[in-house]
Amino acid sequence: MRGKMTLALPDLLDRGLQLEIKGETEKAAAVYQVFFENHPENTAVMKRLLILYRRLKEYRKEMRVIDLALATRRQVIVARQKAWAIEHPKAAKVSRALLKAVERLAKNQPGGDSPEIAALTKRKQLLSKRIKTK
């Protein structure tokens, strides 16, 4: 496997396809894994790798691929959001305020517009915790 590690990434992808065509599923999966570790954003390779691990009944390896793919995609989303917030600071500030208000409503905490109600609600929660501890 060491020889394949030194191949350029496009060559790794071609090698994986050749191995898959020959029916060498385990070797193809190993080659795709090397490619995927270097390019976890590559959806096509991720899908091939998931299919091969499913065929091989390598469910833990399949789960690791899914975890890495999800983590990578979350990082991309966060990076895009940060870049957008830098480019559009006023809209980002309004968006954050709106998000906080919606989250409060989702938690069934009324008073999204009133700082007084929000302060009272927060104080009530603190007091509830203190009363339970006594």
Supply the CATH number for residue 19's domain.
1.25.40
Q: What is the mean pLDDT of the chain?
A: 83
**By percentage, how much of the chain surpasses pLDDT 90?**
37
Q: Residue 40: which domain range?
A: 2-133
Residue 10, pLDDT above cutoff 90 = no
Q: Pull the structure tokens for residue 106.
A: 């989702």
Amino acid of residue 102:
V
Answer for the pair 80, 92: CB distance below 8 angstroms, yes or no.
no
Residue pLDDT, tens place only, 79-120 = 999 999 999 999 999 999 888 888 887 776 555 555 655 666
State pLDDT tens for residues 59-87: 989 999 999 999 888 898 899 999 999 99
Q: What is the DSSP letter of 23?
A: T
Spatial contact of 55 and 25, defined as CB atoms under 8 Å apart: yes
Whose tokens are 């302060």? That residue is: 119
Contacts of 15 (CB under 8 A, 6+ apart): 4, 7, 31
Please tell me the total count of domains within the chain. Answer: 1
Q: What are phi and psi of 107, to 5 degrees?
A: -85, 5
Question: CA-CA distance, 65 to 28, in Å (whole number)?
Answer: 15
More confident residue, 103 or 21: 21
